[in-house]
Structure 1
Amino acid sequence: MSANSFNVSTFEVPAEATIAVGPVGSPAELSTSSAAEPSPSPSRPSREVQVRAYLLRAALSADPSLSRISRVLSSQSALDLNLMTAQYGLTFISELIKAINNWRTLVILKRFAVLAKYFDTIIVATEIRPPKIAVRMRKLSSLISDIRIFNRLWGIISMLEWAVSVVKNPPTDHLIRAITYVQVVANNLFQPMENLAYLSSHEIIPLSTSTTNSLWLISTRLWALHIILEFIRLYRERQLSKLEPTSEKASEADLAKQMKADQLWIRKLIVNSAYFPLTIHWSMTTGFLSDLAVGFLGSIAGGARLIPLWKES
């Protein structure tokens, strides 16, 4: 019997039992010390044995899934990516529930308005209350957003590490090198400004409301600058990839590597395209996107990176 199997039909023969073997062709008889008593038939496994067997099977089947989840959530960046997708997904779903609820309410009110004409009745419009589930989902989304910003308080360390690595090993292409330098400066200014704005909004640092709002706006505009430059970088990378010499007798490994690089480039383009309107929206004192659009775009930006992460785990 293998270590990963458990035979629930196995039972132990009592210590005092003896085995009586009959002639060839006759069944063996199981008898106890008392020959007069009939031999007991094998009983079904007890409930305790059945429960243990079920728990063992459940543990064996859950072990690979738990290991996979642990690998995906082991790093800070992967954890933030999961939280981000959950945050914007909850925002999108909650706003979608609200929109459907508002539409259904308006349809009902229109029908009542038609009936009111025949009965000389006045319908007084009141505020449409969102479903409780939508309100709770939105609160959870706000909480996740706060957690993500709190976790980024130490993000300046990784930003400085990125800056050091770029100085040590700058990109070879002159345009990509210039873009990378500007992105490094923008991100190293963005992170401390966001930290100050966050701590001030929680009344940990004594800053005025106008100063806090300015820090939020400036930090987001620096992020928007990074996103705009990323479009130029992606365009330049595509140009350079087309200039590389191609061999007609490329191996399967080379083709697979090129296909993976193309998929990565497309994924980066999708993520950047989803981030772009969000950063412009948050860079303005009064944004132009609805909460439904914010949730949808944020879900795309998170899901486009999260799905491959789960597939590779």
Structure 2
Amino acid sequence: MAPQGKPAVPASINACLVRALRNSDVFVSRLALLFSTPSSTDSTLSLLAYSMILASHTLDKLLASRMELVASQIASRASKSLQPGETLVASLPVGEVLGARWARAADASERMKTARAKISDFRAFARLWGLLGLYGWAKGHWKSYPGARKPAAAEGEGEEEEGSKVNKNKYDPTANTTIRTIVWMQISACVAFQALENVGYLAQHGIIKLEPATTGKLFKWSSRGWCTHLTLELVRLWKTSQLTKQKRKDLAYSAAWEQEDDAWWKKLTTTSAWAPVALNFSVAPSYMFLNELGLGLCGGTASAVSVRELWKKSAPAV
């Protein structure tokens, strides 16, 4: 018989506790990796911000629908006691009309709007030194041309190597003149985007003195630079797919193709999802076509694809 006193903890409970602690440790470790680099931090915060846009939009719609229903009921009852030509005007807090639960929902929506504004401001601040990363991109692209700036080989060997190099790099995107030109145009568009956003951000916070109208124009033209980059990215992806089809036409199937195709589709998905967001902020406010639902869906989709890929890469080795 078991000894009297404190009952023994079943082994199954101990195993569950150990498993829960281990899973928690893995989750927190992977989450820490998501915030370990500027790019992964930006993607994670972007997903959080656009998720908040969707959540607050949903709550606002539910609240508005509920308030409209209650208002129609109040108006229906009050109309019986009103004289011809009289109008009832009432302003009541959400809590008094709909109850404490709906008041908490309204408060949660406002808090999410405040949080997403802070996240947006932090992301813009973290991009202030983004021009340094663009310099690295341009430098890497300049050095990526196969065989460029390398010493010439011996006369006989040089011709043979040159011929094999042409055949080898015929379908290489880094050696394709069209794609290389597109990338240079993308770098230029991103430099314009980042420089204009930096000035607009500093002016918005009073560090640089500019008129509010001028600051708004800076952000608009900054978004146009981003939109140009995304448009060029779609063209680059299309050209890359054409080269890939030609390269694979006379080759045997390789398992590496699946990884290449998967990366291509992910890039296409994120670019296509960001494009409406960039275009929306590139036009005057009166011409903006995305509401909060559209912004949340487009931005959330693009961010989710990026974060999902980062999350997969942070998985511990088996």
Q: State which of 39, 43, 47 in structure 2 corresponds to 1:77.
A: 39
Cα pair 1:190 1:219 within 8 Å, conserved: yes
Q: Which residue of 2 aligns with 1:6?
A: none
Letter in 2 for 1:299: G
User: Separation in 1 of the partners of 2:92 and 2:144?
Assistant: 59
Q: State which of 170, 187, 192 in structure 1 corresponds to 2:190.
A: 187
- Which structure carries more helix by proportion? 2
Matched, 1:154 2:129: yes
Q: Which residue of 2 aligns with 1:212?
A: 215
Q: Describe the SS at the equivalent of 1:131.
A: helix
Q: Which residue of 2 aligns with 1:234?
A: 237
User: Separation in 1 of the partners of 2:228 and 2:284?
Assistant: 17
C-alpha deviation, 1:126, in angstroms: 5.0
Letter in 2 for 1:172: A
| 1:155-304 alignment, distance < 5 Å | 155-170=130-145, 171-246=174-249, 250=253, 254-255=254-255, 257-286=256-285, 287-304=288-305
Letter in 1 for 2:268: L
C-alpha deviation, 1:72, in angstroms: 2.4
Letter in 2 for 1:270: T
Using a 3 Å threshold, how does the CA distance of structure 1 residues 245 and 289 change in structure 2: closer, same or farther?
Answer: closer
Q: Describe the SS at the equivalent of 1:74.
A: coil
Structure 1 residues 63-87: Cα deviation after superposition (integer angstroms, max 9, x where no partner): 2222222222221110110001101
Using a 3 Å threshold, how does the CA distance of structure 1 residues 218 and 312 change in structure 2: closer, same or farther?
Answer: same
Per the normalisation by structure 1, the TM-score is: 0.76
Identity percentage of aligned residues: 30
C-alpha deviation, 1:188, in angstroms: 1.6
Matched, 1:103 2:68: no
Per the normalisation by structure 2, the TM-score is: 0.74
Q: Describe the SS at the equivalent of 2:197.
A: helix
The more displaced of 300-309 and 109-118 is 109-118
Using a 3 Å threshold, how does the CA distance of structure 1 residues 260 and 166 change in structure 2: closer, same or farther?
Answer: same
Structure 2 stretches lacking a partner, 5+ long: 95-104, 146-173
Cα pair 1:189 1:222 within 8 Å, conserved: yes
Equivalent pairs counted in the alignment come to 266
Matched, 1:64 2:63: no
Structure 1 residues 248-306: Cα deviation after superposition (integer angstroms, max 9, x where no partner): 853xxx23x21222222222222112211111111122123212321221111111211
User: Separation in 2 of the partners of 1:167 and 1:197?
Assistant: 30
User: Separation in 1 of the partners of 2:234 and 2:140?
Assistant: 22
Using a 3 Å threshold, how does the CA distance of structure 1 residues 199 and 247 change in structure 2: closer, same or farther?
Answer: same
Using a 3 Å threshold, how does the CA distance of structure 1 residues 95 and 128 change in structure 2: closer, same or farther?
Answer: farther
Letter in 2 for 1:166: H
User: Separation in 1 of the partners of 2:92 and 2:7?
Assistant: 62
Output the aligned Cα RMSD.
2.9
C-alpha deviation, 1:211, in angstroms: 2.6
Rg larger for: 1
